[in-house]
Structure formats: C-alpha cells, structure tokens
Amino acid sequence: MTSNSEAGRLIVGLDVPDVRTAEAVVRDLDGVVSFYKIGYQLAFAGGLDFARELVSGGKQVFLDMKLLDIDNTVAKGVEAVAQMGVSMLTLHAYPKAMSAAVEAARGTPLCLLAVTVLTSMDAGDLKEAGYDYDPHALVLRRAEQARASGMGGIVCSASEAAAVRDIVGQQMAVVTPGIRLAGSDPGDQKRVVTPRRAIRAGASHLVVARPIVAAQDRRAAAESILSDMKLA
C-alpha cells in the first residue's frame, strides 16, 4: 500500500475528456493531491502518455483499465503497464486472469487491484447480468479469490469495505470509489459512502472524481474530502 497520510490515500479520478483538462485539474490540486486515476475516457485521449508525465513528475498513478482477457494477453498487458511506472492497475476479479497478472507483475512494485462489483450495480443489475449472487456475496467471494491469487488489493464499495478487510487482512489495499460528502448528489452511483465512513470501514484509499473535478473550486473540494477523512 502507499502512504498512510490522508493526502496519500486520496486518489482523484481524472474522468475528463482530454489531457488539457486533466492538466488543469492537476495544476489546481498541486500541493494538495499527489495521486491520480486515469480510466478509459482519458486513456483513449492521450492519457497513457500523460500518465507517464505524471509519474516522471513525482505523482502516483492508478491506471483503471479493468483488464480481462485470455491469460497470455492479460500477462503481456500487465508487463507493459509495469514498465510505465504507475502505482496501481485494475483487472476484473476472475481467478485465471488474476493469477496470470500476479505472475507477470512479480518483482515489480505495481499493485494489482481486483475489481469486485462495480459501484453502479445493485442486485437487480447483477440478476439481469446472469449472476446468482447479490452484490455483497459476490464481492466477498471475489475478495477471497483475489487474496488466494496474490493480488495487491481490492476495489469495492465502501459499504463492503469492512467485510472485505476481514477477508484480506491488513496487508492488501482496499480501494473504494463511490465516495460522496454527506448531502451531495450521488450521481450514477448506487452504493455511496462518506469519506470518514469509508476510512473507518477499512478502506486504504478513496477514489473521488466528480465531487472534485466538477467543483467550481477544485482545491477547496479536495480539502473538504481530506478534512472528512481526518475525522475518521
């Protein structure tokens, strides 16, 4: 896991359409935030090169690619990502994919994160997708499989963080998206939790995007999140 300070545990999601906007967010948060997530939207708009720039500038990067493919393809992808110097990489928590990724990342500092159940999904969504598990049960099953595979951490809703922490112990990262301050708009997230509750539940890192990136004063928004984390 990375820094135990609040600043080192807050990951700002650069869910923006282009590198210019991402650069503006990073400038606004200079000195307050040092850890950034890059997902599909930015990655496919020059974000992978920007990730390298952030790393060379001393920032930490969480590359949210949610890899899932045949074993060899996953392994080759993980090897390439490890060479970028990013800190975290996600893949879906399928046992064969996780095992291939762990072997490919062996000997590197890359923390592999298993995505359990997306925070935008509820029991009805899982049923429609063909799963017999409710979200909580599926998260716990995948957490057990991730631990057995040797993964570095778990991505789950903060509402499941305590139960996941009981399964994975203290050494694995527990990364929680779906974070909102009390009274704020949940957006398209269906399972949201405040920063302090997420930390108390056992989260090691919080991922926050729109509440900071879309704020009129991004720096103040980030500081509000950090202040709420400190209350934990």
Which residues does the annotation mark as catalytic?
64, 66, 69
Listed as own residue / partner, the contacts of 98-101 with beta carbons closer than 8 Å and 24 or more positions apart are: 98/145, 98/146, 98/149, 98/150, 98/151, 99/71, 99/149, 99/150, 100/71, 100/72, 100/74, 100/75, 101/67, 101/74, 101/75, 101/151
Q: Report how far apart, in Å, the C-alpha atoms of 70 and of each of 80, 100, 104, 143, 176 are.
A: 16, 9, 13, 21, 27
Query: What is the DSSP code string of 85-129?
Result: T-SEEEEE--HHHHHHHHHHHTTS-PEEEEE-S-TT--HHHHHHT
Is 119 marked as a binding-site residue?
A: yes
Question: Does the annotation list 66 as a binding residue?
Answer: yes
Annotated binding residue at 230? no
Q: Is 189 annotated as a binding residue?
A: yes
The reply, when asked if residue 15 is annotated as ligand binding, is yes
64 marked ligand binding residue: yes
65 labeled part of a ligand binding site: yes
Residue 210 annotated as binding?
yes
Tell me: is residue 37 an annotated ligand-binding position: yes
Is residue 142 marked as binding? Answer: no
Quick check: 116 and 138 in contact, CB under 8 A?
A: yes
Environment class of 65 (CB within 10 Å of its CB; exposed 0-12, middle 13-18, buried 19+) = middle
73 is in an annotated binding site: yes
Ligand-binding annotation for 67, yes or no, is yes
Nearest-angstrom CA–CA distance, 203 and 156: 9
Binding positions are 15, 37, 64-73, 119, 180, 189, 209-210
Binding positions for substrate are 15, 37, 64-73, 119, 180, 189, 209-210
